[in-house]
């Protein structure tokens, strides 16, 4: 299909989607950028034309831009914060990010990063602006009215910092020359809560939805990859050319790479003269690009990166069925960065490990499509992604790895031992969350990402507790209902900026339950779950069972009773504030729904219509999905008669 037709169809689809979704206004941007990179000085000049549409009901008297590269200068906020965290001992080590440590403090003038704004005009009129480290504050000569579209024209100069965090150059661990993330002056988001000029201290990001048209002029020996669709593949080559096309490069020492990216909220690229480019074209029209720094005489490197490409082809149908269709026509897995970092239509990867590959790709759904404010809702980004990653990894394990190990009994045994752990794929997240609670470092998930007291607490909260939130939601509403919630969340909120309340309302509508209590306890507080079996006794030929709520967070209870004849019964006790009950999840075990448990009452008694000597085991939450801190009091085995 003609590229212009594809782009027009995509934009039309995007407009239809935006109309069908919840009606909350959001700002809109359209970037046109021309970049000229000097690979000898590691500096580039840029011209940026930004059309900005104020869809808010507010008159804007100022705007803010992010200048991320300015964080990589001695005594910056990022530098000071890292060194301060390094003074904190967590476990056996210092709490700072090992990639940052005190490295920024020691950067030379040629190694620092910077973005210098040389001029800025609003509709042709020069503006007054002030650089405040990683934030540019612009006091407008004329306000932007509600519904008005204006154009900002900017000229700037930048120096790419030595690779320290996410973006940068010459990372010795990868050999990649340029990882260009957070590389351009980026308009801050303005939403219903106002401006978000969040300084670049450590994490996270929030961007305005819009369209990008980016031309990068660089040494002709460099190969690029990143966000967007390359518009001039047959004058570039390097594996991007149309099948059968003859590559005709223009004369000169540089090539101009032009990318267009519709309906995204950021733009990333990377460049290296030794990139090797793999391409996989899928039947649904999606093209997978893999670019990696070629290491001579190491066939394992080629094998590993080829596996990345093949794995992407294998898992995409499962991802789309489970989480929603991938809406773009390409995705790029690019060797670069300092770990793994997600961006629209692409990710930077320090290596070809599939766990990281799947994690960064799943960020497409939980951040690149549902563009939450990561600073405020990092757990909705990292936690949802981690939960989804475990499912994708399990799918790959069962459909690829298991087949490879068919002739290796020892390998299969190890694989099965991991697969049988409860709650299966999410086991590691539960253990990490439990460790966080027991460490005494836990803070509520409502904590701003940059404001956690420790990096350790942030990591376990955002990634692990966030993943537990979703798995445990399946315990509350039923796993199949939870899966329907996620698909409806995708349907209603893709290409928008959902927050936790938006997600919870989707969950309530799909489940037909009240779930505000779940968010209130598990997100807004650090209260924990602990239920125990208190006692059993017999009355009139039936068994009474008393349960006790020891922790402060109330939950519904699944209690399994196993009898000596091998039969089982499930007794389901809804949480009073749910005003509903989850559907039966396992039709092979009879379920008996009890009266709801009121959170004001620490004890609950119900009856099993069999004698106590007929009971073998009583267990709270046999699925292990409830994040109960003390499992030892959840199970009671009743001795048989001598």
What domains appear along the chain, each with residue ranges and CATH number? 393-522 (no CATH), 531-637 (2.60.40)
pLDDT for 415 equals 62
Average pLDDT of the residues of the chain: 94
**Spatial separation of the C-alpha atoms in residues 176 and 224, rounded to whole Å:** 11
Instruction: Give the pLDDT mean for 396-419.
Output: 76
* Pairwise CA distance, residues 605 & 545, whole Å: 6
Per-residue pLDDT for 505 more than 90? yes
Strand partners, 178: 169, 271
Is 70 exceeded by the pLDDT of residue 17? no
Half-sphere exposure of 178 (CA within 13 A, CB side): 28
Q: What's residue 1's pLDDT?
A: 45
Percent of the chain past pLDDT 70, that is, above it, reads 94
pLDDT, tens digit (0-9, with 9 covering 90-100), for 362-399: 999 999 999 999 999 999 999 999 999 999 999 999 99
Minimum mean pLDDT range among 8-12, 559-563, 617-621, 625-629: 8-12
Q: What is the mean pLDDT of residues 507-525?
A: 98
Burial (CB < 10 A; 0-12, 13-18, 19+), residue 537, is exposed
**How does residue 423 score in pLDDT terms, banded at 50, 70 and 90?**
low
Confidence of residue 153 (pLDDT cuts 50, 70, 90): very high
Evaluate if residue 595 carries a pLDDT over 80: yes
What is the SS3 assignment for 490? helix
User: Tokens standing for 310?
Assistant: 């093949």
Say whether the peptide bond before residue 204 is cis (omega within 30 degrees of 0): yes
pLDDT score of 425: 82
Report the DSSP pairing between strands 287-293 and 330-335: parallel
Element of type H or E holding 275: strand 275-281
Residue 212, Cβ density class (10 Å: 0-12 exposed, 13-18 middle, ≥19 buried): buried
Q: Hey, CA dihedral for 205, 208, 210, 213, is it positive or negative?
A: negative
pLDDT at residue 142, rounded to an integer: 98
**Residue 573: exposure state from Cβ atoms within 10 A (0-12, 13-18, ≥19):** buried
Q: What mean pLDDT do residues 427-443 have?
A: 96
Distances (CA, A) of 179 to 3, 160, 269: 27, 9, 7
Residue 376: HSE in the Cβ half-sphere, 13 Å Cα cutoff = 13
pLDDT of the residue at 5: 41
Residue 639 has, within 13 A of its CA and on its CB side, a CA count of 2
Using pLDDT thresholds of 50, 70 and 90, give the confidence band for residue 468.
very high
pLDDT value, residue 355: 95
Average pLDDT over residues 188-209: 96
Q: How many CB atoms lie within 10 A of CB 469?
A: 24
Q: Strands 346-349 and 330-335, how do they pair?
A: parallel
Q: Nearest 5°: CA angle at 351, between 391 and 416?
A: 35
634 close to 628: Cβ distance less than 8 angstroms: yes
SS3 396: helix
> Could you tell me the pTM of the whole model?
0.93
What pLDDT score does 620 carry? Answer: 98
Q: What is the mean pLDDT of residues 550-566?
A: 98
In this prediction, residue 414 carries a pLDDT of 67
Q: Are 364 and 435 in contact (CB under 8 A)?
A: no
**What are the tens digits of pLDDT across the range 245-299?**
999 999 999 999 999 999 999 999 999 999 999 999 998 899 999 999 987 668 8
Residue 492 has pLDDT above 80, yes or no: yes
| DSSP helix/strand/coil, 103 | coil
pLDDT band at 421, cuts 50/70/90?
low
Say how far apart CA 245 and CA 174 lie, in whole Å.
Answer: 32
Work out the average pLDDT over 587-593.
97
Predicted confidence at residue 14, as pLDDT, reads 45
Phi and psi at residue 427, to the nearest 5°: -55, -45
Q: What is the mean pLDDT of residues 25-38?
A: 98
E strand or H helix at 292:
strand 287-293
CA distance 597 to 558: 12
pLDDT at 418: 56
Q: What is the pLDDT of residue 407?
A: 73
Which distant-in-sequence residues (6+ apart) come within 8 Å of 246 by Cβ? 234
| pLDDT of residue 2 exceeding 80 | no
405 pLDDT exceeds 80? Answer: no
Closest CA to 216 of 236, 197, 246, 237: 236
Write the CB contacts of 557 (distance below 8 Å, at least 6 apart in sequence): 531, 547, 571, 572, 573, 597, 604, 620, 621
Long-range contacts of 349-353 (CB under 8 A, 24+ apart): 349/308, 350/171, 350/173, 350/174, 351/174, 351/304, 352/292, 352/301, 352/304, 352/305, 352/307, 352/308
φ, ψ (nearest 5 deg) of residue 253: -85, -10
Which H/E stretch holds residue 467? Answer: helix 466-477
Res 225: pLDDT: 98
pLDDT band at 641 (very low <50, low <70, confident <90, very high): low
Using CA atoms in the order 291, 292, 295, 299, what is the torsion angle rounded to 10 degrees?
A: -80
Length of the chain, in residues: 642
Angle between helical axes of 466-477 and 500-511 (0-180°, round to 10):
20
């Amino acid at each position: 299909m003609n590229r212009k037709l594809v782009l027009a169809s995509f934009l039309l689809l995007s407009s239809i989607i935006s109309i069908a979704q919840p009606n909350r206004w959001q700002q809109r941007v359209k970037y046109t950028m021309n970049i000229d990179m000097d690979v000898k000085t590691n500096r580039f000049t840029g011209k940026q034309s930004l059309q900005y549409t104020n869809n808010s009901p507010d008159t804007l008297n100022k705007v803010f831009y992010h200048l991320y590269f300015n964080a990589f200068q001695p005594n910056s906020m990022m530098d000071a914060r890292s060194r301060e965290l390094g003074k904190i001992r967590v476990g056996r080590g210092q709490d700072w990010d090992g990639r940052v440590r005190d490295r920024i403090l020691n950067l030379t003038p040629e190694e620092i990063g910077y973005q210098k704004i040389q001029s800025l005009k609003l509709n042709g009129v020069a503006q007054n602006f002030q650089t405040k480290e990683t934030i540019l504050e612009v006091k407008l000569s004329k306000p932007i009215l509600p519904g008005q579209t204006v154009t900002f024209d900017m000229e700037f100069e930048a120096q790419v910092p030595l690779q320290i965090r996410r973006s940068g150059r010459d990372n010795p661990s990868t050999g990649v020359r340029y990882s260009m993330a957070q590389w351009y002056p980026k308009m801050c988001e303005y939403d219903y809560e106002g401006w978000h000029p969040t300084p670049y201290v450590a994490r996270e990001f929030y961007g305005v939805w819009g369209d990008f048209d980016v031309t990068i002029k660089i040494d002709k020996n460099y190969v690029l990859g990143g966000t967007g669709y390359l518009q001039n593949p047959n004058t570039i080559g390097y594996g991007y050319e149309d099948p059968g096309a003859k590559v005709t490069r223009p004369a000169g020492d540089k090539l101009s790479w032009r990318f267009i990216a519709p309906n995204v909220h950021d733009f990333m690229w990377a460049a290296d003269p030794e990139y090797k480019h793999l391409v996989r074209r899928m039947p649904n029209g999606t093209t997978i690009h893999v670019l990696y720094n070629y290491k001579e005489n190491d066939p394992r490197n080629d094998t590993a990166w080829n596996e990345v490409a093949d794995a992407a082809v294998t898992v995409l149908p499962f991802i789309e069925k489970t989480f929603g269709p991938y809406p773009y026509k390409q995705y790029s897995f690019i060797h670069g960065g300092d770990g793994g970092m997600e961006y629209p239509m692409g990710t930077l990867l320090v290596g070809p490990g599939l766990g990281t590959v799947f994690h960064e790709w799943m960020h497409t759904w939980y951040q690149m499509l549902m563009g939450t404010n990561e600073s405020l809702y990092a757990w909705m980004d990292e936690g949802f992604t981690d939960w989804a990653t475990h499912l994708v990894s399990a799918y790959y394990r069962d459909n690829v790895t298991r087949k490879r190990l068919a002739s290796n009994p020892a390998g299969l045994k190890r694989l099965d031992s991991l697969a049988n752990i409860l709650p299966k794929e999410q086991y590691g997240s539960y253990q990490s969350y439990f460790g966080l609670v027991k460490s005494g470092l836990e803070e509520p998930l409502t904590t701003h990402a940059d404001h956690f007291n420790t990096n350790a607490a942030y990591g376990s909260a955002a990634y692990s507790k966030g993943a537990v939130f979703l798995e445990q939601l399946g315990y509350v509403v039923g796993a199949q209902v939870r899966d329907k919630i996620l698909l409806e969340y995708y349907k209603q909120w893709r290409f928008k900026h959902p927050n936790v309340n938006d997600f919870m309302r989707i969950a309530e509508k799909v489940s037909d339950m009240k779930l505000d209590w779940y968010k209130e306890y598990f997100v807004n507080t650090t209260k924990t779950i602990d239920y125990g079996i208190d006692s059993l006794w017999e009355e009139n030929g039936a068994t009474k069972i008393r349960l006790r709520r020891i922790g402060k967070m109330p939950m519904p209870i699944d209690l399994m009773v196993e009898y000596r004849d091998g039969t089982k019964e499930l007794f389901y006790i809804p949480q009073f504030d749910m005003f509903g009950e989850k559907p039966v999840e396992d039709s092979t075990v009879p379920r008996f729904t009890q009266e709801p448990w009121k959170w004001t009452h620490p004890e609950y008694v119900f009856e099993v219509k069999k004698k106590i000597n007929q009971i073998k085991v009583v267990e709270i939450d046999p699925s292990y999905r409830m994040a109960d801190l003390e499992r030892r009091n959840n199970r009671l085995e009743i001795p048989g008669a001598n």
